[in-house]
């Protein structure tokens, strides 16, 4: 699956078409989030699309699986994308993720020069891209990231709620 590139596709779409476009990609991220359940990790999935709309990085939370505190879906997807590009700059890329990034991941988005963030559920406890903090659009940051939030929010949020309810129960 490839997305419509920014160079002629997205800008030509109306708002409903753009939303449907991102909802489709969020479905891919949700599939990756569900895979995190196999290792007992919080179900968050992410993918990076390059300027041409190709998937160049995919990740899911793997903190429990690897014992790595930085193994968040966003970080792993960006690492894979950087490896695919052969450089750390992800200029022009879009990160699609099922949960609003935390401060660590928001900082990584800025440092990698990611163009756009498409997120599912907002995180009112630790979100750093518009809810609790807004690190990606802070005027003092080196780079500003466009944020499109609430894409398939109910579905993304339900997956997280079910995971945490099962752990408590």
Considering only the C-alpha atoms of the chain, give the largest distance between any 2 of them, rounded to a whole number of Å.
49
**Residue 15 has what pLDDT?**
87
**Crossing angle of the two packed helices 153-168 and 15-36, in degrees rounded to 10:** 20
Q: Please report, to the nearest 10 degrees, the dihedral formed by the alpha carbons of residues 147, 16, 13, 153 taken in order.
A: 30
Paired residues of 69 in beta bridges? none
- The tokens for 162 are 């079910």
Paired residues of 60 in beta bridges? 45
Q: Average pLDDT for consecutive 10-residue bins of the chain (169 residues)?
A: 52 86 97 97 98 96 98 98 98 98 98 98 97 94 93 98 93
Contact 76, 45 (CB under 8 A): no
**Residue 152 has what pLDDT?**
98
**Residue 2 has what pLDDT?**
44
Residues marked as binding for Zn(2+)?
72, 102, 105
**Residue 48 has what pLDDT?**
98
**Residue 1 has what pLDDT?**
43
Is residue 23 among the annotated active site residues?
Answer: no
Q: Which of 17, 74, 87, 146 is catalytic?
A: 74
- The tokens for 129 are 């891209």
Q: Could you tell me where the DSSP H helices lie in 37-142?
A: 63-66, 73-85, 103-112
Contact 51, 93 (CB under 8 A): yes
Contact 21, 12 (CB under 8 A): no
């Amino acid at each position: 699956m490839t997305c419509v590139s920014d160079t002629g596709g997205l800008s030509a779409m109306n708002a409903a078409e753009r939303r449907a476009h991102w909802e489709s990609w969020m479905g891919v991220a949700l599939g990756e989030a569900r895979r995190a359940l196999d290792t007992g990790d919080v179900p968050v999935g992410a993918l990076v699309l390059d300027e041409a709309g190709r998937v160049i990085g995919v990740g899911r939370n793997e903190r429990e699986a690897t014992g790595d505190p930085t193994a968040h879906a966003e970080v792993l997807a960006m690492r894979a994308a950087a490896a695919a590009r052969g450089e750390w700059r992800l200029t022009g890329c879009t990160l699609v993720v099922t949960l609003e990034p935390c401060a660590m991941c928001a900082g990584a988005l800025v440092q990698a020069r990611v163009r756009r963030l498409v997120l599912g559920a907002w995180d009112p406890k630790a979100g750093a891209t518009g809810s609790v903090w807004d690190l990606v659009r802070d005027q003092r940051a080196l780079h500003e990231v466009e944020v499109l939030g609430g894409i398939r929010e109910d579905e993304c949020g339900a997956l997280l709620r079910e995971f945490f309810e099962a752990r408590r129960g």
